[in-house]
Amino acid sequence: MAQEDDEPKSRPFGIPTPGQRGYGGKPAEEEEEEAGQPDRLPDDATVDVDAEKKETHADEILARLDTELVGLKPVKTRIKEISDLLVVDRLRRRFGIGSTRPTLHMSFTGSPGTGKTTVALRMAELLKGMGYLAKGHLVNVTRDDLVGQYIGHTAPKTREVLKRAMGGVLFIDEAYYLYRQENERDYGQEAIEILLQIMENNREDMVVVLAGYKDRMNVFFQSNPGMGSRIAHHIDFPDYELDELMQIGQLMLDQQQYKFSEEAEAAFRDYLERRMKQPRFANARSVRNALERARLRQASRIVNTTGRQLTKADLLRIEADDIRQSRVFSDEEDGPAPADSNGDETGDENGEG
Ligand SMILES: Nc1ncnc2c1ncn2[C@@H]1O[C@H](COP(=O)(O)OP(=O)(O)OP(=O)(O)O)[C@@H](O)[C@H]1O
Ligand SMILES: [Mg+2]
């Protein structure tokens, strides 16, 4: 997941990359000199918003976010707002209007499979395009990547992760597991303290995104006010409606070049309606898993029907039966309980089978 390119060879734009020299608490003049940047515009000059948006690829990235992701209206709106803020911040800096860099640390709350990781990837891309992150990669971690088992292990572990995330987005999934209220001596506290320092002092080197369920995250922020106060943008990811899940499924099928027969489409809607009410339902992730299973069944159906010539359409088509054989249709509600359904793309044990 964490794709880390080499250091950028040159600064992409004619303004200092925030996070590098020349963007911080110093007076504007001094900054500009340091970064060797073009002269500050005179007060009566004009700047072109459209050109700025073009240069940063802001509209392009937002448009892709819009077409690639179904629904998520409130999320898209918030990201557009952040993007607008940064475009204006860049324009202001052209005139040497000094202000501190906007805080960009965020929390993404919502149920599993609502698109948090996907949106974080897009956000990293956006921030890189705008010059607020040098690399724009995403480092996806959980408590286990940050917190050690023994005394003295946590700090080096956390620092190693932070080093990898420099210039990009550090995405901490289920961030509240860092804090264990019942255990004062928990090493998680040490990781939190290091993170707090970095979030304050290295705001230009990295953007931290804390992800997880909303209610647990709220409790976490209440217990760790320092963390809460460093988060500028709280973005909530709503659960998808049935129609949205259908659209997501359609999008995934298109991407993989499959098609539902008419009956299969109806069967899939039926499937989702049932699956939504069952345990461990994970929104878009469950849709993806279900389609993977359908694809497997389609393949066995095709391979095990002997003595037939196949057309292209046969290979493209998912039939109702490929859906209806799912265990979701037999009344057995509970599969074996997996410890954690996150990250498992097969769906075998997640209830999609
Ligand atoms: N709105 C959407 N439109 C299309 N595909 C989506 C949408 N939301 C999520 N997906 C797809 O669903 C899958 C799960 O999404 P993602 O991993 O971003 O969710 P998540 O909120 O991070 O989940 P988790 O909490 O389980 O980590 C991905 O394959 C993603 O491409
Ligand atoms: Mg995720």
Instruction: Classify residue 351 as left (phi > 0), alpha (psi -120 to 50) or beta.
Output: left
Q: How far is the CA of 61 from the centre of ligand 1 (A)?
A: 17
140 touches ligand 1 (CB under 6 Å): no
Q: Is the dihedral of CA 217, 221, 226, 229 positive or negative?
A: positive
Report the alpha-carbon distance of residue 230 to residue 199 in Å, rounded. 7
Lookup: tokens for 146: 């940050």
* CB 13, CB 131: distance < 8 Å: yes
pLDDT at res. 38: 60
Instruction: Give the Cβ contact number of residue 285 at 10 Å.
Output: 25
Residue 326 to residue 331: CA distance in whole angstroms = 11
Question: Is the CATH number 3.40.50.300 carried by domain 28-237?
Answer: yes
Q: From ligand 1's centre to the CA of 283, what distance in Å?
A: 8
Q: What are the residue ranges of CATH 3.40.50.300 in the chain?
A: 28-237
> What separation, in Å, do the N-terminal and C-terminal C-alpha atoms of the chain show?
26
Strands 106-110 and 233-237, sheet pairing? parallel
Q: Are 293 and 352 contacting, i.e. CB atoms less than 8 angstroms apart?
A: yes
Q: Report how far residue 319's alpha carbon sits from residue 296's, in angstroms, rounded to the nearest whole number.
A: 12
Q: Does the C-beta of 285 come closer than 6 Å to ligand 1?
A: yes
pLDDT one digit per residue (tens) for the chain, 353 residues: 444 444 443 333 333 444 443 343 344 444 444 444 567 888 988 999 999 899 999 999 999 999 999 999 999 999 999 999 999 999 999 899 977 888 999 999 999 999 999 999 999 999 999 999 999 999 999 999 999 999 999 999 999 999 999 999 999 999 999 988 777 778 999 999 999 999 999 888 999 999 999 999 999 999 999 999 999 999 999 999 999 999 999 999 999 999 999 999 999 999 999 999 999 999 999 999 999 999 999 999 999 987 878 999 999 999 999 999 999 998 654 444 444 443 333 445 577 87
Q: Ligand 1 centroid vs 71 CA: distance in angstroms?
A: 12
At 37 the pLDDT is 53
The rounded distance, in Å, linking the Cα atoms of 143 and 172 is 8
Beta-bridge mates of residue 107: 210, 234
Helix (H, G, I), strand (E, B) or coil at 27: coil
DSSP letter (8 states) at residue 40 = P
* Three-class secondary structure of residue 26 per DSSP: coil
Question: Ligand 1: which residue has its CA nearest to atom 13?
Answer: 285
Q: Could you give the angle at the alpha carbon of 191 between the alpha carbons of 188 and 192, nearest 5°? A: 85
| Amino acid 336: pLDDT | 45
User: Distance from the CA of 141 to the center of ligand 2, in angstroms?
Assistant: 10
Which of 114, 246, 272 most suits a substitution to test ligand 1, by most atoms within 8 Å of the C-beta?
114
Give the atom of ligand 1 at the shortest distance from the alpha carbon of 71.
1
How confident is the model at residue 137, as a pLDDT? 97
Beta strands, E only, 16-128 = 106-110
Cβ of residue 117 lying under 6 Å from some atom of ligand 1 = yes
Q: Nearest bound ligand to CA 248?
A: 1
Q: 99's torsion region: left (phi>0), alpha (psi -120 to 50) or beta?
A: beta
Give me the CATH topology for the region 242-329. Helicase, Ruva Protein; domain 3 (1.10.8)
Q: Rounded distance, CA 68 to CA 155, Å?
A: 38
Q: Say if residues 284 and 114 touch (Cβ distance below 8 Å).
A: yes
